[in-house]
Structure 1
């Protein structure tokens, strides 16, 4: 039996409040308090780590948009968060990263926590990855990935140290190829950081983060390459342990969603299946650039929820299902044109702190 369902039955059986009432109460508790509740006992940790619970929390949001003066957290009814506009927004795993040019802030906007990383101005932030601890005495290891041309570096959040990494391939001739990165941000999933890249075809380029053999590898070819330079190609996580790819054809405006059939694991074969197709009359072309791409997620009702700017820079939310457009919302509250945006799924994982930050807080 599912552990969460079992726990619900136990709570009711012991004469406590009905589970639905407990869940309703907890869904109104601020996220910072929920973090403390996770340490009360194993039962409460299981409840609060349950993704459906976080989905149903009153402060859950899935899109982040940044303008010149604010960062908005958005579920169409959530007030904005005050912040300075970053040069790039990246959602990766439990955290969102706000890149500012001379460094980046690793944030958990749900908990309103952040830590700062100083970097060379020429380096661009690409993602964050981590290795879970094996026991309670060890902490999870978090590392950020930075790049400039063919130069790549990894920064250890705890120690503040930097190391260089190189591309690797089982084919020695592949090392001479020049791959074009399709995006400035990666997707972290099951210990690996993925990007879309191109040579003659489209494929996933990945960084294996077991930290003993750090390096870049070709993971697999994508099921839907670009037939036109203006085709839209974006990818994201799917159901927590799989990958998804969104493609919009520049000519027909048709949208396809492909997902991996099985859990993404190191060394395992990859099978892609066509999950959704939308051929909606008069649907707009999704404006895309190297820095500003559409962001999307697939909700619990298996609907596609998409955020994109139109040709004038206005931000829109599209909700689609059953090969039709269900809802289209113009974000009137986002005044500035061309806001940065990304998909973010809230978590109760605290932002990792460097040893220096911990030492300063104890003084």
Structure 2
């Protein structure tokens, strides 16, 4: 179901798929003055005895489900990086991080909502191994990317941001934004954590919201220079999953 609190309207979407559908996010056709919204997700299918993700789009304008032909994706030997919890929407398109199993290279993959195709977008500056580091994608300044990489052993963090506004992915330049090395800093878990960075008159700042997996207690961490402030979020009874809002369907 999709709800518009402003208009007090709720739309229920009937699922016409044979397999369970996992919702990942929402995008829109940015080429039109009237935004045509689509939701994006995947189901699991088998091909040549191998299980793989089959990507699906639901178009609000036509009320139709559509599978994306992704046979090429299967042959690319890539692995998605927590697609459901490590993805962002920018300029109507949907982006997430992926990993090439043959070269060890990290990159961003994009779903072009207008063309309804999935393709590589740009290379990530991350160098840590997939088994020892966590990578998280976020939006920076509303029109750029930031990527956070954390060592699972030391919890040290490196953050990069793109130098220019995001366009077609051909001239993306990454610059190192900040490093975080703080004793007893929490681990970043995709399901239960979100972060953002900013650079203003107060300096470079990292804000991270997360909950501890054992206790379920939620905290907000604010890091600026050598300062780290932890704010407890009360009345959170158990583990939660961080979420962000999407534009209303007006």
Distance 1:158 1:259, change over 3 A: same
Distance 1:225 1:110 in 2: 44
Of Structure 1 and Structure 2, the greater strand share is in 2
Q: 2:112 aligns with which of 208, 219, 233?
A: 208
Task: Deviation per CA, 1:219-239: give whole Å up to 9, x if none.
Answer: 122111442525221111111
Looking at CA atoms only, which structure, 1 or 2, has the larger radius of gyration? 1
Distance 1:343 1:145, change over 3 A: closer
Distance 2:248 2:132 in 1: 39
Distance 1:299 1:221, change over 3 A: closer
Structure 1's unaligned 5+ residue stretches are 1-104, 353-363
Q: 2:2 aligns with which of 81, 106, 112?
A: 106
Given that residues 253 and 279 in structure 1 are in contact (C-alpha distance below 8 angstroms), is that contact kept between their aligned partners in structure 2?
yes
- Aligned partner of 1:176 in structure 2 is 75
Q: TM-score, normalised by structure 2?
A: 0.81
Q: 2:186 aligns with which of 284, 290, 307?
A: 284
Q: How many residues are aligned here? A: 231
RMSD of aligned residue pairs (Cα, Å): 2.6
> How do 1:321-336 residues align onto structure 2 when only pairs under 5 Å count?
321-325=224-228, 327-335=229-237
After the TM superposition, which parts of structure 1 deviate over 6 Å for at least 4 consecutive aligned residues? 109-112
1:143 maps to 2:38: yes
- Aligned partner of 1:52 in structure 2 is none
Distance 1:145 1:134, change over 3 A: closer
Deviation at 1:296, TM superposition (A): 1.0
The higher-RCO structure (CA 8 Å, 6+ apart) is: 1
Q: TM-score, normalised by structure 1?
A: 0.57
Given that residues 145 and 155 in structure 1 are in contact (C-alpha distance below 8 angstroms), is that contact kept between their aligned partners in structure 2?
yes
Given that residues 113 and 351 in structure 1 are in contact (C-alpha distance below 8 angstroms), is that contact kept between their aligned partners in structure 2?
no
Deviation at 1:116, TM superposition (A): 3.0
- Aligned partner of 1:272 in structure 2 is 174
Of Structure 1 and Structure 2, the greater helix share is in 1
> How do 1:57-96 residues align onto structure 2 when only pairs under 5 Å count?
none
Structure 2's unaligned 5+ residue stretches are 45-52
